[in-house]
Every structure is written in structure tokens, then in C-alpha cells.
Amino acid sequence: MKASVIHDFGTPSVFSYQDVATPDPTAGHVVVKVAACGLNRYDLYLRMGGITRDIKMPHVMGADITGTIAAIGEGVEGFSEGQRVIVAPGFPVDPNDWDHEPINQAPGYAVTGTHQWGGYAEYTRMPARFIIPDETGLPQDALATVPLCLTTAMHAVKTLGEVGERTRVFVQAGASGSGSMCIQVARALGAEVMTIVGSEPKVETARSVGADHVLRRGIDDQVQRVREWTDGAGVDVVIDNVGSEAFQANMESLRVGGIFVNFGLVSGYRTEFNLKNFFFSHHILKGSMMGTGQELAEGLVLLKSGKIKPVLDKTFPLQDAAAAHEYIESRQVRGNVVLIP
């Protein structure tokens, strides 16, 4: 089969489009014919060696996989060849941890395509346990933008952010893959959302996914605009994927007793932290890493009902993985991009 593999960590030039062995369906696994593989900023970190350097080369990455069952391994029941499926975007490496609850806190939990070959290929082999029947009825390219971001958003916004009817939420980078999905989940739960984006085209994207108020990074004063919106109180919840550069403004945007959920670090991972403001304001800080199968399942119900929509920026042929990575790096992407074998 053809795959876009990396032979080393580094710039997008490490990708090579080449023939590799097509996987066999080993016991307990299925082989999925990849229809589309969505990309996330995570893929850039993985390619650069920023997630782990403990990966055998050559490697095939790719977490957000949609496709059809091509072959079924011994002992696997409940699937049929040709069936449309979604691959879970994360699971523990060690089968001994597969029953860990919550699964995203299991010791070896990792994004799919990190410790096994993922979706930048025509076929991929996955444990049958982490294959989800696709009942969404959506085109498979658009659907490939969904699993990782939706899992993340359900966990960060609903579970940790405790967002519900009329909660006022501030979402960072509202046109990003993860940010646009967090806005949609928050709106589906009945929340009101303010967000901030870095360019005019992204304003349109953030509005189209339901943001009530869209600020411009570098132009609007986030804290002042939040205060105006909330009659001086601050928002109930901040959902952050930007990290360092946004940290101070995010904390100052929170109301007394507000919840800050961080799951990303696009601008860096170190910051100064004012403990005095923290405890005087009864702030609650939560770290969020992916989510559970149950959270994804609940998110897929929202997707099927049309309350959440995929945000597909554009597709690239599988051989253009490097160009897709460069496009994400350029900070232009709105929603997610997808590779098509």
C-alpha cells in the first residue's frame, strides 16, 4: 500500500510517499481501508519529535481516521467487511490498560497513530475494541475532522467546564480545529460564547460555528470586552488551547469561582501564575487531555442530530502530507484539514 511516512523527526520535508507493507488483520484487530485522515496540530508536534522520540522509524502517523472494514482478525465479532467505521482518536498502548477508567487517564493512553501506525496510509490496523460504527451519514472526508476535536471538546467543555444552559464561556482561538468544536459543544449545551481569532476570515468561521461574540487578537482588549459583556463579573468558564500568551488575559476574564480548562499550548507552555489572585478569586484550574469513548459517543449523537457540524477547511491528497503540515503551521487553517488516500 501507499503511505506518507516519516523516517526521522523534523520539518515537513521528513515525509516520504512510498510503498509499505499492507497490514494483516491480527487477532482482535481489524484492518480499515482509510477513506480520509484528519490532521491536528498534534501531528506537527509528533512529526517534530515534541511528543515522544521513542518511536520506531519509519512511522505512519494520523489519529482521525474514517473508512471501511477491509479485513477482520480472529476473535472479532460485530463487524462486517465494507462497513463504515470511525477509529477512536486515542487509546492506551498496553491492552492491560484498556479497562482503565476513565480511559484517558490510563498510564499509556496516547493519541492514535503515536505508538502504532495510523491513518496517513491506504490501510491501517487497529484493535477492534477501538472501532466505532459510523452511523452519522456524513461524507467521510468531513467526518475525519471530527473524532479528536469532538472527544476533546466534550471532555473539556461539558465534563470539566460543567457548561450548561446560559453558562457564559470564553473559548480561545475559535476558528482552530479544537476551538471551533468547543464553541459548537458549548452552544449545543445552551451556553453563550465569546471567542477571539487572529484574522478576518477566521471571524466568519467562528460566527458560522455559533460564537455570539468574536474578538480580534491584537485588536480587541479581551479582558475589557469580557467585562463589558458580563456586566463586570467575568465569564463562568474559559476554554484554552493557546497557553502562555493568553494565560494572563484568560485568568483575568474569569468570574469569582470560575473554571479555567486548559488543553493546549500553541503559544508556549510556561507562564507566570499569580497565586494571590487565584485563591482570592476561588478560581478552579483544570487540565484536560482528550476524553473517553462515552464522551465521543455523546458527541456523535449531537453530530448526527445536526447540532454540531464538521469544519472541513480543505483536503489534500495523501502524498501531500508535507503541504498539509505546512498549511497548519502557517496558521491559516480554519477547522481541520484532511488527507485523502
Ligand X SMILES: NC(=O)c1ccc[n+]([C@@H]2O[C@H](COP(=O)([O-])OP(=O)(O)OC[C@H]3O[C@@H](n4cnc5c(N)ncnc54)[C@H](OP(=O)(O)O)[C@@H]3O)[C@@H](O)[C@H]2O)c1
Binding site for ligand X (CB under 6 A): 40-42, 148, 152, 173, 175-179, 197-199, 202, 217, 241-242, 245, 263-267, 288-290, 328, 331, 333
Residue 152 or 167 with smaller CB distance to ligand X: 152
Q: Nearest CA to 154 among 335, 308, 334, 328?
A: 308
Measured from the CB of residue 243, what is the shortest distance to ligand X in angstroms? 7
Residue 66 or 241 with smaller CB distance to ligand X: 241
Give the bridge partners for 64, in sequence order: 38
- The single residue listed with the C-alpha cell 481489524 is 30
Residue 23 or 243 with smaller CB distance to ligand X: 243
Measured from the CB of residue 246, what is the shortest distance to ligand X in angstroms? 7
* Cα-based torsion angle of the residue sequence 41, 42, 44, 46 in order, rounded to the nearest 10 degrees: 180
Measured from the CB of residue 326, what is the shortest distance to ligand X in angstroms? 12
Measured from the CB of residue 247, what is the shortest distance to ligand X in angstroms? 11
Three-class SS of residue 79?
coil
Measured from the CB of residue 21, what is the shortest distance to ligand X in angstroms? 30
Residue 166 or 314 with smaller CB distance to ligand X: 314
| Helix residue ranges per DSSP H, 77-176 | 140-143, 147-153
- The single residue listed with the C-alpha cell 477566521 is 202
Distance CA 245, CA 165 (A): 30
Measured from the CB of residue 292, what is the shortest distance to ligand X in angstroms? 12
59 within 8 A of 90, measured Cβ to Cβ: no
| 187 residue type, one letter | R
Q: Nearest CA to 302 among 145, 139, 187?
A: 187
Measured from the CB of residue 311, what is the shortest distance to ligand X in angstroms? 10
Q: Nearest CA to 241 among 203, 201, 277, 289?
A: 289
Residue 62 or 264 with smaller CB distance to ligand X: 264
Distance CA 260, CA 163 (A): 12
Residue 126 or 249 with smaller CB distance to ligand X: 249
Residue 128 or 336 with smaller CB distance to ligand X: 336
Whole-angstrom CA distances from 17 to 2, 58, 232, 338 are 7, 11, 54, 16
